[in-house]
């Protein structure tokens, strides 16, 4: 079928043909870096026999509708992670596709907005009986004037960032003055509200899901593990460096692995929590839920990711492969789930 792959691009003058040439170059045997996600997805779709058009958007979002109107795709694979460098604006792409009447993969604008807002999503999850850390928020440029009534230590984050952006060891604060300083840093550096959450010590688990309603499936759980000799308990959390800086990860002994043994009771609760979160946050087709599992077997939801990174070799794709779906089959499963969703509507 005809599938358009839509994504945010740093190349304002690139045509679909330019992106196809770039894809061929990045996927070549002599490529020195990991190919961009959208090119991996497009290549997988081609391997499954689909005709693919690459639509990269840099500055003018109308290009999505203009290209789709000209090419008339049967489905749009939404691989957009931001707009003009702002991850908070990723909901614009499904909004445009809905306005144009196009079928697309992934969560709707509401699901993206709600899950990205760490405070709003926690309120919804707590309402449905899911354990979340206590938290407080400060609007952009709003000063911290008093202790928020939470148990220190706290971890301070940008309210709507993803991929651990803005999270470092300095994000964990032990007292009021450090809280004031870090909240001010978030306001200044990221120009958005800040959230401080009670820091939960425990194992960091990533639960990938694929499907909808009756077909919703939890994939094998991934865990972020730390060398205990190089990382004290209070430093074992997903900073930006711990997630993305390979030299730092090697130096500190940080790895992503399939989860070590988890009790039957905790696994049952994980299943219930993640299915509920997927439903109440209006997620679709695929998503990832980030959890903390304490030594007492308590589960805490840290956040939900409605638009996770789906490149080969990363959490959700690795989990899918562990479940018996090689990368092209994983991408095809997303296509199949989205089509079935539209056909049953």
Q: Look over the chain and give the mean of its residue pLDDT values, rounded to a whole number.
A: 95
Tell me the per-residue pLDDT of 161-212, one tens digit each, with 9 for 90 and over: 887 899 999 999 999 999 999 999 999 999 999 999 999 999 999 999 999 9
CA dihedral 335, 333, 32, 16 (to 10 degrees): -10
**Stretch 321-329: mean pLDDT, rounded?**
98
The predicted structure's pLDDT at residue 253: 95
The predicted structure's pLDDT at residue 31: 65
**Stretch 210-236: mean pLDDT, rounded?**
94
Identical topology for domains 2-104 and 134-198: no
Model-level pTM greater than 0.85? yes
Asked if CATH classification 3.50.50.60 holds for the domain at 202-344, the reply, yes or no, is no
% the chain with pLDDT above 70: 99
Confidence of residue 33 (pLDDT cuts 50, 70, 90): confident
Tell me the per-residue pLDDT of 50-107, one tens digit each, with 9 for 90 and over: 999 999 999 999 999 999 999 999 999 999 999 988 889 999 999 999 999 999 999 9
Tell me the per-residue pLDDT of 100-138, one tens digit each, with 9 for 90 and over: 999 999 999 999 999 999 999 999 999 999 999 999 999
Backbone angles phi, psi at 165, to 5 degrees: -60, 130
Asked if CATH classification 3.30.1490 holds for the domain at 134-198, the reply, yes or no, is yes
CA 263 to the chain's CA centroid: 26
Task: Domain 2-104: give its CATH architecture.
Answer: 3-Layer(aba) Sandwich (3.40)
- The Cα 100–Cα 86 span in angstroms is 23
What token pair was written down for 125? 């999850």
18, burial (CB in 10 Å: exposed 0-12, middle 13-18, buried 19+): middle
- What residue spans define the domains of the chain? 2-104, 134-198, 202-344
**Stretch 33-39: mean pLDDT, rounded?**
93
């Amino acid at each position: 079928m005809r599938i358009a792959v839509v994504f945010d691009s740093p190349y304002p003058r690139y045509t679909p043909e330019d992106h196809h040439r770039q894809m061929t170059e990045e996927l070549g045997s002599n490529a020195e870096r990991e190919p961009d996600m959208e090119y991996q997805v497009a290549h997988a779709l081609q391997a499954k026999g689909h005709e693919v058009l690459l639509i990269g958007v840099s500055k003018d979002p109308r290009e999505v509708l203009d290209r789709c109107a000209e090419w008339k795709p049967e489905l749009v694979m939404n691989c957009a992670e931001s707009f003009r460098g702002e991850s908070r604006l990723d909901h614009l792409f499904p909004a445009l596709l809905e306005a144009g009447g196009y079928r697309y993969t992934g969560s709707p604008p509401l699901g993206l907005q709600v899950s990205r807002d760490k405070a709003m999503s926690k309120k919804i999850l707590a309402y449905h009986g899911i354990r979340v850390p206590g938290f407080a928020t400060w609007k952009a440029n709003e000063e911290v004037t008093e202790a928020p009534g939470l148990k220190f230590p706290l971890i301070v984050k940008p309210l709507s960032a993803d991929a651990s952006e803005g999270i470092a060891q300095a994000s964990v604060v032990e007292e009021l003055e450090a809280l004031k300083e870090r909240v001010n840093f978030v306001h200044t550096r990221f120009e958005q509200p800040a959230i401080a959450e009670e820091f939960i010590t425990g194992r960091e688990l990533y639960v990938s899901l694929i499907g909808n309603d009756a077909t919703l499936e939890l994939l094998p759980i991934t865990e972020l593990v730390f060398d205990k000799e190089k990382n004290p308990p209070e430093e074992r959390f997903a900073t930006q460096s711990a997630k993305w800086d390979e030299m730092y990860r090697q130096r500190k002994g940080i790895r992503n692995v399939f989860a070590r043994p988890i009790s039957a009771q905790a696994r049952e609760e994980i299943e219930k929590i993640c299915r509920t979160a997927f439903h109440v946050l209006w997620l679709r087709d695929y998503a990832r839920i980030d959890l903390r599992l304490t030594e007492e077997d308590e589960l805490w939801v840290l956040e939900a990711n409605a638009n996770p990174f789906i490149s080969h070799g990363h959490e959700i794709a690795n989990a899918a492969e562990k479940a018996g779906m090689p990368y092209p089959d994983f991408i095809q499963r997303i296509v199949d789930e989205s089509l079935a969703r539209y056909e049953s509507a």
